[in-house]
Amino acid sequence: MTNREAQIFQWITENPMISQEELAAKAGIARSSAAVHISNLMKKGYILGKGYVTNGPSYCTIIGGANIDISGMPSESLLEGGDSQGTVAYSLGGVGRNIAHNLRMLGVNVKLVTAFGDDTYAHQIIDSCNELGIEIADSLKLTGASTATYLHIADENRKTRFAVSDMKIYDRLTPEFVSTKLELMNRGRMVVLDTNLLPETIAYICENCKAPVFAKCISAKMAEKLVPVLGQLSVVIANKAEAEVLSGISIKDKDTLERAVDIILEHGVKNVFVDAGKEGVYCGCYDEQFMLTGPNPDMEGTLGAGDAFVAGVTLGYMKHMDIRKMAKLGQAAAAITVEGTETVNTQMCVSAIAERSNLEL
């Protein structure tokens, strides 16, 4: 789905009876151009037929990070302790924003709750969200604050070697602020949060939100924030190191991985996905556990791949799929991301993820 298609799709979802003339006027384009975009949306499966019957679930609320990523990529082998020649790139990032971006590419309505400063970086992110159709009206905008920044250095294989993050602004997403968004969360299909949030904010969401809550771990240290609220989470997505923190045991092999997921499930989590690297994704729910093998992308080493996995799982959940199909969509979304050069691959769309996962959407 292109940015323009995403914008038009959102307007159609909000008002299924909107005319092509009205769509053209809102977008500032000719009616014939609006007709072409609608035709493309029908071909891609977002619009099912006349009257603009859309194939889209209700909105998803995402609470988490939206920041600028500064990436260093060496031209040859990374020289530690010295000057490595290469390229430095600036891109829009943040776990919450990345998940929201992927979901919009997949035709899902998204409301993002995050914190912005009043600097140039904030304006870039806000402009992009508006263009993509990511609703940010409920986000916090702070005068005199700096927008979050993530600096990482990769090796010649694009695998992250060093990283520094400045995420202090997210401490302003307090339980008091989030409490004003409770109706927004409860009316949505689900809430997806990342562990950039304060522990007390995560606790407030889990204790008061009636919609299912998904949690994306972003580091082993930050995974500690989820331990007290595991019983109130519907979905947890983690890597092995984060699963060790959540379960309290060391993961050394398949048996200990299975036991770790058992423990997380025993706390009350409904669905668990653990990135097991080249082995695949280990999945667990109340009635089954399994390793989903196949060509598993490097979600931990490639910026944005893990966030795309969350988007795929979320889409599957919104379409009432079982855990195996959710994981397949997640793997497909991550694989598409790895093949691109940006944090979110512009080739992400319903038809691409359906073909890659061999699932009907």
Residue 48 and residue 61 in one domain = no
Residue 45 and residue 176 in one domain = no
Asked if residue 74 belongs to a domain, the reply is no
CA angle 165, 102, 98 (to 5 degrees): 10
Residue 315 and residue 341 in one domain = yes
Residue 30 and residue 177 in one domain = no
Over residues 316-340, mean pLDDT: 92
Model pLDDT, residue 262 = 97
Residue 39 and residue 63 in one domain = no
Asked if residue 161 belongs to a domain, the reply is no
Does 142 score more than 60 pLDDT?
yes
Q: Give Cα 10 distance to the centre of its chain.
A: 18
Q: CB-based contacts of 177: which residues, under 8 Å, 6+ apart?
A: 140
Residue 177 and residue 34 in one domain = no
The range of the structural domain enclosing residue 51 comes to 1-55
Over residues 309-321, mean pLDDT: 93
Over residues 114-125, mean pLDDT: 94
Q: Please check whether residue 305 is in contact with residue 355, taking contact to mean a CB–CB distance below 8 angstroms.
A: no
Model pLDDT, residue 81 = 72
Residue 261 and residue 347 in one domain = yes
Asked if residue 275 belongs to a domain, the reply is yes
Q: How distant, in Å, are the alpha carbons of 9, 108, 129, 135, 350 from that of 38?
A: 8, 16, 21, 21, 15
Nearest to 188 by CA among 98, 113, 105: 113
Nearest to 348 by CA among 21, 99, 83: 99
**Own/partner pairs for 240-246, CB < 8 Å, 24+ apart?**
240/274, 240/275, 240/276, 240/277, 242/217, 243/272, 243/274, 244/220, 245/220, 246/217
Q: Please check whether residue 234 is in contact with residue 214, taking contact to mean a CB–CB distance below 8 angstroms.
A: yes
**Whole-number average pLDDT of the chain:** 89
Residue type, 26: K
Residue 36 and residue 125 in one domain = no
Q: CB-based contacts of 75: which residues, under 8 Å, 6+ apart?
A: 84, 85, 86, 87, 156
Over residues 157-175, mean pLDDT: 88
Does 195 score more than 80 pLDDT?
yes
The predicted-structure confidence for 253-286, as pLDDT tens digits, reads as follows 999 999 999 999 999 999 999 999 888 999 999 8
Asked if residue 327 belongs to a domain, the reply is yes
Model pLDDT, residue 22 = 87
Q: Please check whether residue 239 is in contact with residue 279, taking contact to mean a CB–CB distance below 8 angstroms.
A: no
Does 78 score more than 80 pLDDT?
no
pLDDT tier for residue 298 given thresholds of 50, 70 and 90: low
Q: Kindly state the tokens that stand for 83.
A: 């000057």
Residue type, 203: A
Does 321 score more than 80 pLDDT?
yes
Asked if residue 78 belongs to a domain, the reply is no
Model pLDDT, residue 328 = 96
Asked if residue 91 belongs to a domain, the reply is no
Supply the DSSP string of 207-261, one letter for each residue. Answer: HH--S-EEEE---HHHHGGGGGGGGG-SEEEEEHHHHHHHHSS---SHHHHHHHH
Asked if residue 246 belongs to a domain, the reply is yes
pLDDT tier for residue 140 given thresholds of 50, 70 and 90: very high
Residue 176 and residue 43 in one domain = no
CATH number at residue 135: 3.40.1190.20
The predicted-structure confidence for 208-236, as pLDDT tens digits, reads as follows 999 999 999 999 999 999 999 999 999 99
Give the relative orientation of helices 305-318 and 350-357 as an angle to the nearest 10 degrees. Answer: 90
Does 14 score more than 80 pLDDT?
no
Does 159 score more than 90 pLDDT?
no
In the chain, the number of structural domains is 2
Supply the DSSP string of 185-214, one letter for each residue. Answer: HHHSS-EEEETTS-HHHHHHHHHH--S-EE
CATH number at residue 12: 1.10.10.10
Residue 230 and residue 270 in one domain = yes
The predicted-structure confidence for 168-191, as pLDDT tens digits, reads as follows 999 999 999 999 999 999 988 899
d(CA 61, CA 112): 6
Residue 175 and residue 239 in one domain = yes
Report the predicted TM-score, pTM, of the whole model to 2 decimal places.
0.81
**Own/partner pairs for 28-36, CB < 8 Å, 24+ apart?**
34/8
Q: Kindly state the tokens that stand for 202.
A: 């995560």
Residue 180 and residue 306 in one domain = yes
pLDDT tier for residue 83 given thresholds of 50, 70 and 90: confident
In what helix (H) or strand (E) does residue 273 lie, and over which residues does it extend? strand 271-275
Q: Please check whether residue 251 is in contact with residue 242, taking contact to mean a CB–CB distance below 8 angstroms.
A: no
The predicted-structure confidence for 337-348, as pLDDT tens digits, reads as follows 988 878 899 999
Half-sphere exposure for 85 (CA within 13 Å, toward CB):
2
Nearest to 6 by CA among 63, 58, 44: 44
Residue with more model confidence, 160 or 207? 207
Q: Please check whether residue 301 is in contact with residue 266, taking contact to mean a CB–CB distance below 8 angstroms.
A: no
Model pLDDT, residue 246 = 98
Asked if residue 333 belongs to a domain, the reply is yes
Does 194 score more than 90 pLDDT?
yes
- Edge-to-edge strand order for the sheet containing 60-63? 110-113, 60-63, 191-194, 213-216, 235-239, 271-275, 281-285, 289-292
